[in-house]
């Protein structure tokens, strides 16, 4: 979602801030701005749209200073306008903010009674005005920031900069991540370690409720109770090549192509000598139920994993959308594990669901791509998916890595619960080791997928169908297509077609059928025939055997390599992703940063 950067440096910070914000573009944004203090004077520049607009503005209207803060905004309150763009300023205070201030209307009314009115539609401006009112009453910048934080309700990461203070930033974190970076006589703040990577590899992550006074000499951190706190300094290691396009037109294309490599890394990390290596504390034999919680694409990975856990391990498995989970107050048996799946590890709804579960279940488990994230740190066990940095907003390699780690967990559960013997486990591990090669073969079919996608791109509505573990993949395929091409798409279980969606079928509606030649193939083909009987245009994604058996009458056939049924949902993610990608390219949409979307959703 929104991105925050702050620098107390030795050099002009405007170009440094803009370059750091560029590294956060993948999170999604609609406006950007920076503020600096120069010779004691606070000033700012803001622009709507892409960062290039802010860069152009700074060429014509430079902003000097060696202390500054910057922000990319994804709108929650108010339209994308210069007035609503961050940083927000009131008198001597400038603020950048990720999250939502839930009580801003009450605060706004209180401040208006003092004659302090708002110029914007945002919740963030209220923070700056409140801090200003406290400084007008005689508080120092540090005192005013601390008193302001005590009045705020909601989720936020905040960074304050003050007129006349060239060696002070105040940072605060509640429900939204924030990190402090250490340099040589310089200090940095960022909502994402990626933004700070070119400047430092030494990072401290603020804990929930922390606030910090940052100067060039160092940082003083205080916990939620206001007491001094020591937070660990960690060294980050970011593979710089994974945050560059490396010759690809889009990050999404690069990340689709990286999947054989990152899956091989994950499989090697968790397997060896025919067995699966997971933490000993993960004891599936000791539990009666598993709860999987996630949002969006990660939720579809969990739906797929439900099939695996129940069929391989005979372990009842419940899957919840994180944004609904805690509000229905579900009962969680003590003899259960709760698994929270998130690419960023900062997804607000998923983190809130995790906190609801703590103390109610035997183990809280995180499946995340960022091992230093809030979800990872607050879990009993964190399992990294090892996908590497994913920049494209529409998740690709993180999805298949999530599936892979969840499948490994399901196989381990089956082994621990006596449903899979040593020999069978070794066979499954060997099959997994061959998966990256199969994915390379699937990627080699890209020209055929691109040709089909060009035709699909002309449609206004698309349906995806799948049975069994391919049903969640139908949901994921539809999500990918609508996310980046803006074509309306829906995924359905094939057997549900006649219970309503078949009313949508006509000659203008492509129907993507995900159907490897498995035990459910014949039933899926029957549903496919129902589509064709109503002049629907079927794109059949299957293997060679399936194509031979059922291609007659279809519009397009995309043949994937033969694969064990257990691995098909991971393998068939490739054509689903490529179809969405090439449809978006054909339509000319912004593939990596689709409208209205953010990479890391850190607000409810």
Gap between the Cα atoms of 48 and 355, Å rounded: 36
What's the residue count for the chain?
A: 604
Gap between the Cα atoms of 439 and 417, Å rounded: 30
Structure tokens at 308: 């695996």
Q: Measuring CA to CA, how many Å separate 8 from each of 64, 199, 414?
A: 13, 12, 53
Q: What is the DSSP string of 329-390?
A: -----SSEEEEEEESSS--HHHHHHHHHHTTTSSEEEEEES-TTSHHHHTSSEEEE------
Structure tokens at 405: 């780690």
Structure tokens at 488: 């309306």
Residues 464/478, Cβ–Cβ less than 8 Å: yes
Gap between the Cα atoms of 108 and 132, Å rounded: 13
2 is known as an active-site residue: yes
What are the residues facing 235 on neighbouring strands?
A: 202
Structure tokens at 538: 């079927």
Gap between the Cα atoms of 45 and 73, Å rounded: 14
Please give the angle made by the CA atoms of 105, 106 and 110, to the nearest 5 degrees: 115
Residues 142/68, Cβ–Cβ less than 8 Å: no
Within its chain, how far is the Cα of 57 from the centroid?
Answer: 30
Catalytic residue (one of 363, 397, 537, 599): 599
Q: What is the dihedral of CA 304, 305, 306, 308, to 10 degrees?
A: 100
In this structure, the number of other CB atoms found within 10 A of the CB of residue 286 comes to: 13
Nearest to 497 by CA among 458, 457, 461, 528: 528
H-helix or E-strand containing 72? strand 67-73
Q: Starting from the edge strand earliest in sequence, which strands make up the sheet with 202-205, in order?
A: 41-48, 31-38, 67-73, 3-8, 187-190, 179-182, 202-205, 234-235
Q: Percentages helix, strand, coil for the chain, rounded to the nearest 5?
A: 40, 25, 35
In this structure, the number of other CB atoms found within 10 A of the CB of residue 533 comes to: 11
Instruction: Please state the φ and ψ torsions of residue 20, each to the nearest 5 degrees.
Output: -65, -40
Catalytic residue (one of 2, 118, 295, 302): 2
Instruction: Please state the φ and ψ torsions of residue 201, each to the nearest 5 degrees.
Output: -115, 10
Is the bond preceding 514 in cis, omega lying within 30 degrees of 0?
A: no
**DSSP letter assigned to residue 562:** P
- Catalytic residues, by residue number, are 2, 599
């Amino acid at each position: 979602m929104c991105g925050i950067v702050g620098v107390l440096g030795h050099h002009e910070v405007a170009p440094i801030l803009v370059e750091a914000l560029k590294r956060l573009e993948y999170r999604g944004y609609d406006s950007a701005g920076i503020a600096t203090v120069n010779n004691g004077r606070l000033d700012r520049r803001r622009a709507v749209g892409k960062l290039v607009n802010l860069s152009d503005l700074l060429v014509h209207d430079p902003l000097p200073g060696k202390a500054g803060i910057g922000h990319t905004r994804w709108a929650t309150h108010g339209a994308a306008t210069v007035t609503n763009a961050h940083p927000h300023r009131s008198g001597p205070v400038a603020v950048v903010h990720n999250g939502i201030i839930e009580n801003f209307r009450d605060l706004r009314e209180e401040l208006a009674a003092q004659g302090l009115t708002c110029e914007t539609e945002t919740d963030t401006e209220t923070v700056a005005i409140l801090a200003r009112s406290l400084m007008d009453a005689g508080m120092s910048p540090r005192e005013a920031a601390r008193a302001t934080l005590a009045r705020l309700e909601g989720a936020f990461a905040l960074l304050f900069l003050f007129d006349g203070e060239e060696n002070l930033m105040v940072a605060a974190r509640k429900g939204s991540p924030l990190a402090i970076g250490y340099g040589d006589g310089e200090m940095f703040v960022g909502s994402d370690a990626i933004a700070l990577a070119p400047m430092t590899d030494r990072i401290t992550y603020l804990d929930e409720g922390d606030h910090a006074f940052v100067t060039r000499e160092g940082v003083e951190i205080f916990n939620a109770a206001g007491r001094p706190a020591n937070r660990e300094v960690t060294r980050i290691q970011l593979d710089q090549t994974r945050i560059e396009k490396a010759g690809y037109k889009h990050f999404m294309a690069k990340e689709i192509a990286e999947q054989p490599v990152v899956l091989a890394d994950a499989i090697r990390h968790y397997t060896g000598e025919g067995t699966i290596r997971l933490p000993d504390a993960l004891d599936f034999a000791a539990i009666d139920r598993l709860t999987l919680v996630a949002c969006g694409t990660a939720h579809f990975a969990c739906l797929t994993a439900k099939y695996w856990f129940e069929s391989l391990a005979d372990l009842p498995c419940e899957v919840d959308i994180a944004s609904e989970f805690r509000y229905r107050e579900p009962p969680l048996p003590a003899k259960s594990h709760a698994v929270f799946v998130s690419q960023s590890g900062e997804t607000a709804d998923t983190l809130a669901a995790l906190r609801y579960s703590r103390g109610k279940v035997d183990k809280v488990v995180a499946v995340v791509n960022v091992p230093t994230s809030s979800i990872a740190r607050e879990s009993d066990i964190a399992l990294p998916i090892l996908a590497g940095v994913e920049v494209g907003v529409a998740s690709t390699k993180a999805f298949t890595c999530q599936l892979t780690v969840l499948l490994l967990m399901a196989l381990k559960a089956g082994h621990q619960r006596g449903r899979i013997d040593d020999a069978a486990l070794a066979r499954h591990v060997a099959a997994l080791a061959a998966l990256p090669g199969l994915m390379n073969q699937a990627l080699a079919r890209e020209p055929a997928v691109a040709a089909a996608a060009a035709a699909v791109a002309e449609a206004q509505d698309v349906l995806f169908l799948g049975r069994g573990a391919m049903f969640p993949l139908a949901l994921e395929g539809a999500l990918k297509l609508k996310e980046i091409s803006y074509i309306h798409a829906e995924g359905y279980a094939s057997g549900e077609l006649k219970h309503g969606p078949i009313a949508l079928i006509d000659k203008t509606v492509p129907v993507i059928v995900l159907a490897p030649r498995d035990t459910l193939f014949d039933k899926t083909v029957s549903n496919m025939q129902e589509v064709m009987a109503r002049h629907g245009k079927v794109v059949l994604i299957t293997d060679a055997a399936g194509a031979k058996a059922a291609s007659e009458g279809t519009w397009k056939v995309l043949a994937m390599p033969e694969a064990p049924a257990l691995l098909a949902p991971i393998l068939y993610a490739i054509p689903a992703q490529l179809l969405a990608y090439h449809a978006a390219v054909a339509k000319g949409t912004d593939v990596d940063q689709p409208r209205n979307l953010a990479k890391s959703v850190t607000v409810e």
